[in-house]
Amino acid sequence: MPGQGAVAAGHPATVETAASILAAGGSAFDACVGAIATACVVEPVLASLGGGGYLLAIPAGAKPRIYDFFVQTPRQKKPPAEIDFRSVHAHFGDNVTQEFHIGAGAVATPGLVNGLFEVHDSLCRMTMAELLQTAIAQARNGITVRDFDSDVMQIVSAIFQNSPECLAQYASPTDPNRLGQPGDCLRLPELADVMEALAYEGADLFYKGEVGQRLCEHVGAGGHLTRDDLLHYESQRRTAMETPCFDGHMSFNPGAGGLLLAFAMDLARNAPFGAHGSVSTLLQIADIMALTTEVHSTHLANHGGVSLGVLNDILLERYRKEVVARATSRRGTTHISIIDADGNIASATLSNGECAGLVIPGTGITLNNMLGEEDLNPGGFHRWTHDERMTSIMSPTAVRFTDGRVLATGSGGSNRIRSALMQVLINLLHFKMPVEAAVMQPRIHLEGHYLSVEGGHDMEQIGALLDRWPQHEVFSNPSMFFGGAHTLMADGNGNVDGAGDPRRGGSWTRV
């Protein structure tokens, strides 16, 4: 599919990095490696070398594959009374708060560095030094804080401001007691030095060398991680799962998030939607969310999501009928979508949780708090299984259509990921909206019996929706609470349309 390439991501610098690599002759996978590194610099609350993620890679003419470099549970567990594990509250505005858990006891084994090198070694054309040079320059020269970046820092200020090491790294140059303010230039020279060393020394520096040693010493007695965890970490590569999706086939990550999204889209494919934005359509969407939540709690709560059993015909038929019958009556995450001129597709979702409030000394690398993430620990905190890849709601996704079109998307937003992607895909595939319009439409999210409604809906028209779920919150404006679906669509002639979701500071460009 020769034609234009394109990039959509959560920061203009992330987009520019990927675009410059494509322009220099790199593939979508080269561009994705460089963009991931840059995101770890310019989107510090959402991505870090101390976190993990997934890449859905579809080389032109080849089968889709998943690179799983998400975090791993430690190989040994200390009693809760012996670890540093604390709760904090993030404030999303509109009186919406969410509890997070931080401290050394919340840190799982990071996978992102290993994943970068795994992807590079198997898919990339350019050297790692070439791919990381922009991220290194960004860290050394400084990043300018946008309004969005400042807002995100304020949301997690309970973590960053109560952690002297995080505050010192991301403090405003004019006020060391405040996190970066719009217009501030934040320099990260230690992170630049580590990235430069990684480019030449490889992942062993992190997992076997000095960085890993500092990490384990810093987590220390208050956490579970040891050098043994780092030495045994490996990225996992597997065939992506696929399922019919409207007039194409959707490829997705075989984790809980991907399975739930595939389940929801199958229900949507058969649902009798009314007009876009109508009460009947919103009720349909909310009902699909409710049924998807039921499937999550009943079939996937304690399952890593490595089979399509939950999507078997009998179970789907039961829920399809329920959707038709009804018609008559959370996290620090970022996403990168890339399509190159040769038709290669890269869709990557990254997360550092919200940060554990810890920085590996001398490196500028913040550490994840995945063992403190409620949606990753459905059985309860401190009950995780030893030495197991954690499952995730993250769902890097692509759809390839019978007419030659391709779509790449994904989102941040914890449990809102699947609801954000479902609504964007319905807008694109059922209502045939252009990409920007599909991404910009206001969203809803149903969590248990609690309904969240994003600002922008016609409130006079959705009384029935609010009556159905009397436990609800209506946001006054668009909000990052509802995810950030950075999305690209290419037609069979190589022309690309896209959107960077403004809810999470998104940007996009053609190359």
Question: Which pLDDT tens digit goes with each residue over 312-368?
Answer: 554 445 444 444 443 332 457 899 999 999 999 999 999 998 899 999 999 999 999
Asked if residue 354 lies in contact with residue 369, where contact means CB atoms within 8 angstroms, the answer is yes
Structural domains for the chain = 6-237+335-376 (no CATH), 241-334+394-510 (3.60.20.40)
Asked if residue 263 lies in contact with residue 295, where contact means CB atoms within 8 angstroms, the answer is yes
3-state secondary structure of 408: strand
Asked if residue 367 lies in contact with residue 103, where contact means CB atoms within 8 angstroms, the answer is no
pLDDT value at residue 325: 42
pLDDT value at residue 383: 84
Query: Cα–Cα distance between 316 and 307 in angstroms, integer?
Result: 15
Question: Which pLDDT tens digit goes with each residue over 160-174?
Answer: 887 899 999 999 999
Q: Which residue has the higher pLDDT, 319 or 16?
A: 16
Q: Is 224 exposed, middle or buried (CB count within 10 Å of its CB: 0-12, 13-18, 19+)?
A: buried
pLDDT band at 462 (very low <50, low <70, confident <90, very high): confident
Query: Cα–Cα distance between 422 and 438 in angstroms, integer?
Result: 11
Please determine, for residue 414, whether its predicted confidence score (pLDDT) is greater than 50. yes
Q: In sequence order, which ranges of 64-146 are alpha helices (DSSP H)?
A: 112-123, 128-141
Q: Which residues are catalytic?
A: 333
pLDDT value at residue 255: 76
Asked if residue 452 lies in contact with residue 373, where contact means CB atoms within 8 angstroms, the answer is no
Please determine, for residue 425, whether its predicted confidence score (pLDDT) is greater than 80. yes
Residues 50-73, mean pLDDT to the nearest whole number = 96
Query: Cα–Cα distance between 338 and 223 in angstroms, integer?
Result: 37
Question: Which pLDDT tens digit goes with each residue over 95-145?
Answer: 667 788 999 999 999 999 999 999 999 999 999 999 999 999 999 999 999
Cα 329 to the center of its chain, rounded Å: 35
pLDDT value at residue 301: 47
Q: Which residue has the higher pLDDT, 488 or 242?
A: 488
Phi-psi region of 202 (alpha: psi -120 to 50; beta: other; left: phi over 0): left
Query: Cα–Cα distance between 260 and 311 in angstroms, integer?
Result: 9
Question: Which pLDDT tens digit goes with each residue over 449-458?
Answer: 899 999 999 8
Residues 206-232, mean pLDDT to the nearest whole number = 96
Instruction: State pTM to two decimals.
Output: 0.92
| Amino acid code (one letter) for 40 | C
Question: Which pLDDT tens digit goes with each residue over 258-299?
Answer: 888 888 898 898 888 989 988 889 999 999 998 887 776 665
pLDDT value at residue 297: 62
pLDDT value at residue 324: 44
Query: Cα–Cα distance between 8 and 18 in angstroms, integer?
Result: 9
Please determine, for residue 91, whether its predicted confidence score (pLDDT) is greater than 80. no
CA atoms within 13 A on the CB side of 208: 8
Look at the alpha carbons of 66, 70, 74, 78 in this order and tell me if their dihedral is positive or negative: negative
| Amino acid code (one letter) for 233 | Y
Q: Where are the beta strands (DSSP E) in 224-371?
A: 236-239, 241-245, 248-252, 333-339, 345-351, 359-360, 365-366
pLDDT value at residue 137: 98
- Beta strands 472-474 and 450-453: pairing type? parallel
Query: Cα–Cα distance between 417 and 423 in angstroms, integer?
Result: 10
The rounded percent of the chain whose pLDDT value lies above 70 is: 90
Kind plus residue range of the DSSP H or E element containing 418? helix 416-429
pLDDT value at residue 377: 66
Residues 164-186, mean pLDDT to the nearest whole number = 94
Q: Which residue has the higher pLDDT, 423 or 92?
A: 423
Residues 305-315, mean pLDDT to the nearest whole number = 47
Please give the C-alpha separations between residue 28 and each of 2, 298, 423, 452, in angstroms, as whole numbers. 13, 38, 26, 36
Please determine, for residue 187, whether its predicted confidence score (pLDDT) is greater than 50. yes
Look at the alpha carbons of 103, 136, 335, 346 in this order and tell me if their dihedral is positive or negative: negative
Q: Is 216 exposed, middle or buried (CB count within 10 Å of its CB: 0-12, 13-18, 19+)?
A: middle
The rounded percent of the chain whose pLDDT value lies above 90 is: 68
DSSP string, 46-88: T--TBSEEEEEEE-TTS--EEEE---B--SS---GGGS--EEE
pLDDT band at 306 (very low <50, low <70, confident <90, very high): very low
pLDDT value at residue 507: 96
Residues 179-196, mean pLDDT to the nearest whole number = 97
Query: Cα–Cα distance between 173 and 185 in angstroms, integer?
Result: 8
Asked if residue 288 lies in contact with residue 241, where contact means CB atoms within 8 angstroms, the answer is no
Q: Which residue has the higher pLDDT, 155 or 316?
A: 155
Closest Cα partner for 446 from 427, 423, 428, 424? Answer: 423
Between CA 499 and CA 506, with CA 502 as vertex, the angle to 5 degrees is: 60
Query: Cα–Cα distance between 74 and 88 in angstroms, integer?
Result: 23
pLDDT value at residue 250: 94
Q: In sequence order, which ranges of 344-434 are alpha helices (DSSP H)?
A: 416-429
Q: Which of 267-281, 378-392, 457-471, 491-505 has the lowest mean pLDDT?
A: 378-392
pLDDT value at residue 307: 44
Q: Which residue has the higher pLDDT, 447 or 338?
A: 338
Look at the alpha carbons of 243, 245, 247, 252 in this order and tell me if their dihedral is positive or negative: negative
Token pair for 238: 């597997």
- Work out the mean pLDDT of the chain and round it to a whole number: 89
pLDDT value at residue 93: 62
